[in-house]
Chains A and B, each alone.
Chain A
Amino acid sequence: MVLVLGILAAPLAGMLVNGLVGGRLPKKVVGGIACAAVGASFAASAGTLLHLLGLPEGGRQLSLPLSPWIVSGDVAVRAGLLVDALSGWMALLVSGVSFLIHLYSTAYMGEDPDYSRYFTYLNLFVFSMLLLVLADNLLLLFVGWELVGLCSYLLIGFWFERPQAAAAGRKAFIVNRVGDAAFLLGIVLLLLRLGTVEIPQVLQRAPAEFPPGDPTATAITLLLFAGATGKSAQLPLYLWLPDAMEGPTPVSALIHAATMVTAGVYMVGRLHALFSLAPLTMEVILAVGTLTALFAASVAITEQDLKRVLAYSTISQLGYMFMAAGAGAFAASIFHLTTHAFFKALLFLAAGAVMHAAHGETNLQRLGGLWPHLPATAFAFLVGAFALAGIPPLSGYYSKDLILLSAFSQGKVASWTLGVATALLTAVYIGRAAALTFFAPPARTYDRLHEAPFAMAVAMWALALLALLGGGLGASWGREPLLRLLGSVFGEEAVPHAPAAGLAPVFAGLAGLTLAWAIYLRRGAWPSLPFLGRVVSQRFYVEDLYQVLIVHPGRRIAAFLADLFDPLVIDGAVHGVGAVVRAAGSGLRRLQTGYLRNYALMFLAGALAIVGYWIFH
């Protein structure tokens, strides 16, 4: 299938062109190439998905073997691409949202001197994510997985002249590395046990190989999930994501909406049959997802930075997705991934428009009263905010509702309760962000406030439309096309409806928004909660814990190695060898007297020794 290759080839080509000659091209051409590349990828994805839909229901799977890759003894790994409903939909979503973000970036980054470098990285990012999505074996998926991590490092640290940006890029890379190591171990364990890492074969052989609850299957899935916690920013490896805000805002949108953070959710969905064999892992996923959702949502309430509020919001929403996956509702998790991609990208792009207008200001205490100046941006932000808060009929409502219903119907009442509480907190923090940015009395005045330029506005409007109507993909009024599509992959049944349980998150959302509105419209504060307030505003001291447990010991070990071990032991050994050789040399040089007769005498002594040996031996 040429189309499938086109999905990957287009952004790769865009990356190569912009990377090699982009510096010499005018900005319009660079931006045009980058957008066209991702647009072509989107068109190819759409074509592929249409082709897939044209196939009979049972055979909706295209596999495209490319070449043998690693052949060694019993192990033969073939690189290839796999398109089924899941990866086809993900490719469409990734390329589509990325296209809008590219379009937005052409205007947002218009003043940046490193325009072509930016778009080179951006195209590489999209390529990596699509490779991850379309890979038909776990090793190729891992290549995409690592490339995505690399791109996040490059883009978060895009303005590397700023020390915080460089540090944030490093942090993202290093924290991800921890998860990636576990992920790779999981793949190797799977390879050892099943002898294959090709996804269709893994899914097919796993149920026969592993009885339910098999410890190896549990270990494999736990390791894979540990990788997902790094890439998808779950407890305890979420730390890199709030710092990732140091990158340009469209990059945040790209990382948070379409690429990178969704990789973990996608991977769990991709290997759903394997994960389903390990009930313990599923419980862990459910617990981690639920706790992350609640944790990040409560931290988001106290954040003072608009972008960091959105960052914690992403962590929280990813928690929902894992909650769904942990409850076995994989289709619901992909559905929420989709709607989240729409409204979170929208929120980030709107936040970027605010920054664009307000000269880069993101501190909520210094923003305010922007809506008369930026009505369109405010409207777009509100659409995203309502979708995030789960207000019907916006998209976020349907997906969050489906997740909570699935948890409820699976009897995970604790998760459901915490999920509803999270929905309340979600509405509070996003209501707070919206109120403080647009409606509260202005904290300072800004000159030359202006609405976003055309390219940025178009991207925002498109996403606003998707955030408004995206719920139709999984709602009964839209006849649930996405859920039916994914149902063929996951083999799930529809979730039974439970009206009371379904209404709870809506009320939570409305209550949260009202509460936020009431408090923050006048820049009020919460009634003080001395202990809880301090804990939450310090982000539950998790970062301090990391400082004490990992960063400080790490620094101390590094200091010990650098100040003592290296100069004394390593250098000592090197210098010691030199000193010994030197001393031996200066001792032995006395043998070389320069007098021929001394040498002759030694000759004689040697000859006598040999003769003596032969005589007396």
Chain B
Amino acid sequence: MSTAWYLLLSAALFTLGLLGVLVRRNALILFMSIELMLNAVNLSFVALSRHMNDLAGQVAVFFVFVVAATEVVVGLAMIVEVARSRATVDIDDINLLKG
């Protein structure tokens, strides 16, 4: 199978994630959309790594995993905390820093 298909899938997943971030209001869904974008990028890393016969791309993927894991920890903690204090996870209601 040609690498182009992988890249096309990656782009599709990334766009899905991006749209999710832009249009959804639930913070948890937003979060999942970001994860989708990260993994879309991971997919293109792996595909290109195989295509170019270079392991560096796979190594980058591991780094992205680590970053994503920590991000989940911090992000979920924040969402739980917001949900506790404001009884909502709707990002349109979380606008205290509005100028």
Interface residues of A (CB under 8 A from B): 588-597, 600-601, 604
Contact of A595 among B21, B30, B91 (CB under 8 A): B91
Name which residue of chain A comes closest to B94, CB basis.
A596
5 A-B pairs closest in CB distance: A594-B98, A594-B95, A592-B99, A589-B99, A596-B91
Chain A residues with CB under 8 A of B95: 593-595
B1 on interface, CB distance cutoff 8 Å = no
Inter-chain contacts of A601 with B (CB < 8 A): 22
Q: Is the CB of B21 within 8 A of A594?
A: no
Interface centre among B18, B92, B97, B99 (most CB of A within 10 A): B99
Partner-A contacts on B (CB < 8 A): 18, 21-23, 30, 91-92, 94-99
Residue in chain B with minimal CB distance to A589: B99
Would you mind naming 12 contact pairs between A and B with Cβ atoms under 8 Å apart?
A: A592-B98, A592-B99, A593-B95, A593-B99, A594-B95, A594-B96, A594-B97, A594-B98, A594-B99, A596-B92, A597-B22, A604-B22
Residues of A within 8 A of B18 (CB): 604
- What residues of chain A lie closer than 8 Å to B22, measured between beta carbons? 597, 600-601, 604
Apart from A594-B95, A594-B99: 8 A-B pairs, beta carbons within 8 A? A590-B99, A593-B99, A594-B96, A595-B95, A596-B91, A596-B92, A597-B22, A601-B22
Which chain A residue lies CB-closest to B95? A594
Q: Could you tell me if B21 and A600 are in contact, using CB atoms closer than 8 angstroms?
A: yes
Question: In the docked arrangement, what's the CA distance between A596 and B22, Å?
Answer: 8
Residue of A nearest to B27 (CB): A596
Distance of A594 Cα from B97 Cα, bound (Å)? 6
- Docked Cα-Cα span, A594 to B95, in Å, equals 4
In the complex the two chains form, what is the Cα distance from A594 to B22 in whole Å?
A: 14
Q: Are A591 and B99 neighbours in the complex by a CB distance under 8 Å?
A: yes
Alpha-carbon separation in the docked complex, A80 to B91 (Å): 80
Picked from A588, A592, A600, the residue with its CB within 8 Å of the CB of B97 is A592
Q: Are A593 and B23 in contact (CB under 8 A)?
A: no
- Cross-chain contact B98 with A597 (CB below 8 angstroms): no
Of all chain B residues, which has the CB nearest A604? B18
Chain A residue with minimal CB distance to B93? A594
With a CB–CB cut-off of 8 A, which chain B residues contact A604? 18, 22
Q: Is B99 within 8 A of A596, CB to CB? A: no
CA–CA, A317 and B95, complex, Å: 87
Return the chain B residue nearest A590 by Cβ: B99
Nearest CB on B from A581, distance (A): 15
Given the known interface contacts A600-B21, A601-B22, A604-B18, the answer about A593 and B94 at a Cβ–Cβ threshold of 8 Å is no
Q: Measured between alpha carbons, how far is A148 from B67 in the docked complex, in Å?
A: 76
Residue of A nearest to B24 (CB): A597
- Residue in B21, B96, B97, B99 whose CB lies within 8 Å of A597: B21
- Tell me, rounded to whole Å, the shortest Cβ–Cβ distance linking B29 to chain A: 12
CB proximity of B61 to chain A, nearest CB, Å: 20
Considering residues A588, A591, A600, A604, which has the most beta carbons from chain B within 10 angstroms of its beta carbon? A600
Q: How far is the CA of A588 from the CA of B91 in the complex (A)?
A: 22
CA A589 – CA B99 in complex, angstroms?
Answer: 5
Determine the chain B residues whose CB is within 8 A of the CB of A590 once the complex forms.
99
Could you tell me if A597 and B94 are in contact, using CB atoms closer than 8 angstroms?
Answer: no
Q: How far is the CA of A595 from the CA of B95 in the complex (A)?
A: 6
User: Does A596 lie within 8 Å of B30, measured CB to CB?
Assistant: yes
Shortest distance from the beta carbon of A361 to any chain B beta carbon, whole Å = 77
Q: Chain B contacts of A597 at CB under 8 A?
A: 21-23, 91
Q: How far is the CB of B95 from chain A (nearest CB, A)?
A: 3
User: Given the complex, which residues of B lie within 8 Å of A596, measured CB to CB?
Assistant: 30, 91-92, 94
Min CB distance, B36 to chain A, in Å? 14
Minimal Cβ-Cβ distance residue in A for B21: A600
